[in-house]
Amino acid sequence: MSIDIDADKKNQEILPRELESEIVDGEICLPSEFTLNDKGIITWSESTPIGKAIDFLLSDERLNELASYIESSARSLVPSLRTKASRAEIISNAMKVTKSRIAVENLKKTALAELKKRPQEITKKVDEFSKKLNSLSAELRKPVDDFENAELLKEQAAKSIEAKIKELSVVLDKHSSDDVLKKIADLKEITIPENLEAFKGNLEFLIDRSLASLDESLKTKIKIEEQSKAAEELKEKEAEIEKLKALLAAQQPEEQPEEQPEEQPEEQPEEQPEEQPEEQSQHVKPDLGMPIYNYFPSSSFVSAAEKPTFERLRKTNLDSSRAANPGTDEAARRQARLAALQALTLIGVEETLGKKIIQNIIAGNIPGIYMEVK
């Protein structure tokens, strides 16, 4: 068997060249965001933030650079099918390309996961940003807000004082003069704070106008109360007069037989005709409806303008009494004095004091009561 030494040498020279990886020199380089691991597979650099992967994947230019680098590296190996080792190297070279693709797809998944977090992070960061700007805006506006709030408080205080003034200026029928005086005092005590200078003029005008109105109301109330008091006093005196009249009327029938037995015989022949014996009994038992005595308020109780009319009526009443009952004056006077004395005794007045009271009434020394027995 012959051996072709030259042929074996030829094969030995060819096999090393077929198995050797030839790297074609060129300008295409691996992008800086990637590195090669120990197996020659591209991986995303740990020193590069994942956020840059989104920009890288969205850039056609950067992706094309990476694809060109992978293609250049893969084509740098001259393929040979003659030996098993060379075929295995071809398969390994293709696997590197596939793993590079998978590496980029995994990078895409990581980038998409990062993108899903972005809305929340963006929202959070924008919220913080908005909060800072809102705080800044509020700080810048604060002087104006403080001024406006202070002005609003002043306006509210002025309205409160104005409402109080209007409330005090109202006078109703149920209010007395004392109530009006208190309103005037309360109104005068109202003070206007210094910080309400802008409202001072209007408030002082309202106070002055209300004081003038209350003064008029006070005069009216005093006049009404005086009239009412005078009417009440007159009513009380009239009631007192009626009460005394009733007491005198109740005592007159009992006193007539004791006071007039001796006086009647002497006065009958002079004053009354014989055909009227029954009328003499009137000296002892007078008719209360007939004005044996006149009972008037004192002239001091009436006004100066009314005194002439008052005296004229009193005199007319007295003259009417004497004309209607001639000859009965003396008996009537005694009867009136005795009845008045007994009436005073019934209400607890001692007899001596009662006589003095009757004498003072006759003399006109007791205001409000007049007893005509002259």
CA-CA distance, 98 to 39, in Å (whole number)? 13
Specify the 3-state DSSP secondary structure of 40.
coil
For residues 130 and 238, membership in a common domain is answered with no
- Which of 85, 106, 134 finishes a domain? 134
Residues 4-38: pLDDT tens digits? 434 343 433 333 333 333 333 445 788 888 888 87
For residues 357 and 248, membership in a common domain is answered with yes
pLDDT at residue 8, as a whole number: 40
Distances, alpha carbon 169 to alpha carbons 146, 183, 205, 222, in Å: 35, 7, 13, 17
Residue 128 falls inside a structural domain: yes
Residue 219 falls inside a structural domain: no
Residue 229 falls inside a structural domain: no
pLDDT at residue 131, as a whole number: 93
Number of structural domains (the chain) is 2
For residues 363 and 239, membership in a common domain is answered with yes
Residue 337 falls inside a structural domain: yes
Strands 34-36 and 370-372: unpaired
Residue 66 falls inside a structural domain: yes
Residues 233-266: pLDDT tens digits? 999 888 888 888 787 777 665 544 444 445 444 4
Q: Which domain holds residue 291?
A: 234-266+283-372
Above 90 in pLDDT, residue 305? no
- Which of 81, 108, 134 finishes a domain? 134
Residue 184 falls inside a structural domain: no
Residues 58-81: pLDDT tens digits? 889 988 988 888 888 888 887 788
Region of poorest pLDDT, from 6-10, 166-170, 233-237, 321-325: 6-10
Quote the tokens at residue 144: 């104006």
For residues 247 and 126, membership in a common domain is answered with no
Give the pLDDT band of residue 148 (cuts 50, 70, 90).
very high
Q: Is the dihedral of CA 269, 274, 280, 282 positive or negative?
A: negative
For residues 117 and 242, membership in a common domain is answered with no
Percentage of the chain surpassing pLDDT 70?
A: 69
Above 90 in pLDDT, residue 352? no
Residue 180 falls inside a structural domain: no
For residues 241 and 368, membership in a common domain is answered with yes
Above 50 in pLDDT, residue 313? yes
Above 90 in pLDDT, residue 146? yes
Residue 195 falls inside a structural domain: no
Q: What is the overall mean pLDDT for the chain?
A: 75
How far is Cα of residue 353 from the mean position of the Cα atoms in its chain?
A: 67
- Which of 114, 134, 154 finishes a domain? 134
What pTM did the predictor assign?
A: 0.39
**Phi, psi dihedral angles at 297 (to 5 degrees):** -65, 150
For residues 112 and 240, membership in a common domain is answered with no
More confident residue, 335 or 155: 155
CB atoms inside a 10 Å sphere around CB 116: 8
Q: What is the DSSP letter of 82?
A: S
Give the pLDDT band of residue 220 (cuts 50, 70, 90).
very high
Q: What integer is the mean pLDDT of 268-287?
A: 41
Residues 35-50: pLDDT tens digits? 888 777 888 887 788 8
Region of poorest pLDDT, from 3-7, 86-90, 214-218, 324-328: 3-7
Q: What integer is the mean pLDDT of 287-293?
A: 39
